[in-house]
Amino acid sequence: MIVRHTLVLIGTVSALAATPAMAEEFSCTGSVGAVTLDNIFVPDGSTCTLTKTRAKGSVVVGTGATLIARSVKVTGNVQAEGSAKVNITGVSTVGGSVQIVQGGSALIKTATIQGDLLFDSNDGPLKALTNTIGGNLQAFQNGGGVTIRDNDIDGNLQCKENSPAPVGGGNQAASKEDQCAAL
């Protein structure tokens, strides 16, 4: 659970040093460059573009929101429920999992994900291309088409109840199950 806070800076930096350290949440509604932030939240209906940005926590994408992340480093998870679009590209690193649920489209390309990559109940086109995934890649009940190509997956590649069935190939995984058995 992420607690949202608004940070108001009053006084000098030395006055801030006396207060206990808390993970703050940055509300992203535009473009952010090469800075380090704690948690990042993309508000409902907003668009956030991160380029070479570091997140010491997680990135949460709101309902109807769009995240464009290029060459980012996220220590925690990327979580999107009901989002319009999530793109993670450009040799990005996610220390946790990427979960895209009940949303629109997604492109995950050339990323290193330490945990799992999950596409669940989305209605737009989904693509997982040339990623390194430390956990599982799972695609369940998606309706906009799923392309899974040239991924190196330490865990399982599992696909169920997608319509149409996922396409792709060249994936390396501990096991390939159900609709993804031939990928």
pTM of the predicted protein model: 0.87
Mean pLDDT (the chain) is 90
* Token pair listed for 55: 């997140």
Report the pLDDT value the prediction gives residue 5, as an integer from 0 to 100: 40
Locate the domains of the chain by residue range.
27-178
Structure tokens at 59: 């990135």
> Who's near 21: CB < 8 A, 6+ residues apart?
none
Please, what is the end-to-end C-alpha distance for the chain in angstroms?
Answer: 35
Q: Which pLDDT score, from 0 to 100, does residue 15 have?
A: 34
Q: What token pair was written down for 83?
A: 């989002």
With a cut of 70, which residues of the chain have pLDDT below it? 1-23
3-state SS string for 34-79 = CCEECEEEECCCCEEEEECCEECCCEEECCCCEEEEECCEECCCEE
pLDDT of residue 57: 97
